[in-house]
Amino acid sequence: PRTVFSGIQPTGIPHLGNYLGALSNWVQLQSKAEPDDELIFSIVGYHALTLPQDPKALRSSRTDMLAVLLAIGLDPQRSIIFHQDENPHHTELAWILNCLCSVGRLRRMTTWKSRLATSRNVNEESEVDESLLNAGLFTYPVLQAADILLYKATHVPVGEDQKQHLELCRDLADIFNRTFKARNPLFPLPEHIFTPSKRILSLKDPSSKMSKSAPDAQSRILMTDTATQIKSKIKSAVTDSVPGITYDPISRPGTANLLDMFGACTNENPADIAKRYEGKGHGALKVDVADAVEELLKGPRAELERIRQEKGYLLNIAEDGASRARERSEATMREVKIRVGLA
Ligand code: ATP
């Protein structure tokens, strides 16, 4: 049997990219899982703290994310759904793994390097970059490893951008196993689950991905957007001035993005869709893309609006999830402490 672990940060209502690229895969994993597979999905609040957060906004984002996970169809009877910050074992194990991880290894993380590059652009004084970034941002891949290893997860669905972190997680598991040998290795080396999903691009700048931190709110479709909002955002999406519709992600990224969104909503090949619209214009395509997105989102959106009101229910689900997670990680954490000599 497999143990699948995945996490998402509570940083606001997810956009269409998050839904198509990550969350909908979780629901698929759940529906395709074998009866004895274990599924663990975490809302990773500690990771969110690596960037400045307004406490009030973070508090409501945490609850919203739980409501989103339930609204899209994750089943708390089938899967463990919980807040990472309600299981203290995560930070305990992260500390121990931090003490096994070299600084050099973390410096080579591309996520860290791109943070550094960004701070360099902002400050234009390359020597001071590192001192401006917080240590949590440096070491969060180790917390991520702890999140996974705590449940002895065997499979982790992650995007391309996180593959290097999973590699680190495997190495830390291996270092722990070899350093603290007992009769058998403690941690299995988790594998990456590849989920074929397209990167959804910004509606305003098709050279970058749809992102929640982009300043222009028109560049993304949120899971709470109404039909009217979806229509107007897609109508004003940046495309190109080439007549007719063809699927060409390299030279027509904006048009290809509309076709990718369409295809992801209807489970069709974007190139096949393009053929149907060959002689038509962007206007006609946009109307139908908006309809397809609305069709995809209307169910989860209605469910989300309903669940968001049910504060007591959400609280119960969170408490139950946290206690199952803690129970589940207790034995591993005890074994870790025994092996390193702390218990
Ligand atoms: P940021 O503001 O940092 O870009 P984000 O919400 O856009 O944040 P992340 O928090 O980095 O994205 O990612 C959450 C999950 O959603 C990850 O699994 C990531 O691969 C996926 N994801 C994010 N953006 C997209 C996108 N545009 N298309 C497909 N998947 C995406």
- Which residue CA neighbors atom 15 of ligand 1 most closely? 18
Alpha carbons within 13 angstroms on the beta-carbon side of residue 34 total 5
315 and 302 assigned to the same domain: no
State whether residue 147 is helix, strand or coil.
Answer: helix
In 218-343, alpha helices (H): 227-235, 253-266, 270-276, 282-309, 311-340
Q: Is residue 73 part of a domain?
A: yes
Q: How far is the CA of 64 from the centre of ligand 1 (A)?
A: 17
239 and 104 assigned to the same domain: no
- DSSP-derived secondary structure letter, 201: B
Q: How far is the CA of 30 from the centre of ligand 1 (A)?
A: 20
Q: How far, in Å, CA of 198 to CA of 208, rounded?
A: 13
76 and 176 assigned to the same domain: yes
- Which residue CA neighbors atom 23 of ligand 1 most closely? 18
Closest to 253 in 3D by CA, of 294, 196, 202: 202
Q: Is residue 203 part of a domain?
A: no
Q: Is residue 212 part of a domain?
A: no
Q: What pLDDT sits at residue 127?
A: 58
Determine the atom of ligand 1 nearest the C-alpha atom of 209.
27
Domain that holds residue 157: 3-198+311-340
26 and 74 assigned to the same domain: yes
Two structure tokens written together for 201: 């691009």
227 and 142 assigned to the same domain: no
Q: What pLDDT sits at residue 158?
A: 85
Q: How far is the CA of 206 from the centre of ligand 1 (A)?
A: 15
240 and 323 assigned to the same domain: no
- Which residue CA neighbors atom 18 of ligand 1 most closely? 22
168 and 292 assigned to the same domain: no
Q: Which residues line ligand 1 (CB under 6 A)?
A: 8-9, 17-18, 20-22, 159, 161, 199-200, 209-213
Percentage of residues in the chain with pLDDT exceeding 70?
Answer: 98
Segment 73-99 shows an average pLDDT of 98
Provide φ and ψ at 197, rounded to 5°: -135, 145
284 and 321 assigned to the same domain: no
Q: What pLDDT sits at residue 183?
A: 82
Q: What pLDDT sits at residue 160?
A: 79
CATH of the domain at 7: 3.40.50.620
- When divided into structural domains, the chain yields a total of 2
Q: What pLDDT sits at residue 130?
A: 83
302 and 320 assigned to the same domain: no
Q: Is residue 206 part of a domain?
A: no
Determine the atom of ligand 1 nearest the C-alpha atom of 12.
6
Residue 128 has pLDDT above 70, yes or no: no
Which pLDDT band, with edges at 50, 70 and 90, does 124 fall under? Answer: low
Q: Is residue 208 part of a domain?
A: no
Segment 306-330 shows an average pLDDT of 98
7 and 50 assigned to the same domain: yes
Q: Is residue 209 part of a domain?
A: no
Q: Is residue 30 part of a domain?
A: yes
Determine the atom of ligand 1 nearest the C-alpha atom of 8.
14
- Which residue CA neighbors atom 14 of ligand 1 most closely? 18
Which pLDDT band, with edges at 50, 70 and 90, does 173 fall under? Answer: very high
CATH of the domain at 247: 1.10.240.10
Q: For 12, left (φ over 0), alpha (ψ -120 to 50), or beta?
A: left
**Each residue of 182-203: pLDDT tens digit?**
889 999 999 999 877 779 999 9
Q: How far is the CA of 94 from the centre of ligand 1 (A)?
A: 24
Going through the chain in order, the beta strands assigned E by DSSP cover 3-8, 38-43, 80-83, 155-157, 191-193
Q: Which amino acid, residue 173?
A: A
Q: How far is the CA of 220 from the centre of ligand 1 (A)?
A: 11
Q: Is residue 274 part of a domain?
A: yes
Contact 320, 292 (CB under 8 A): no
Question: Which residue among 18, 147, 202, 204 has the greatest number of ligand 1 atoms within 8 angstroms of its CB, and so is best to mutate?
Answer: 18
Measured at the alpha carbon of residue 93, what is the angle toward residues 91 and 95, in degrees to the nearest 5? Answer: 70
Determine the atom of ligand 1 nearest the C-alpha atom of 22.
18
Q: What pLDDT sits at residue 343?
A: 83
127 and 256 assigned to the same domain: no
180 and 277 assigned to the same domain: no
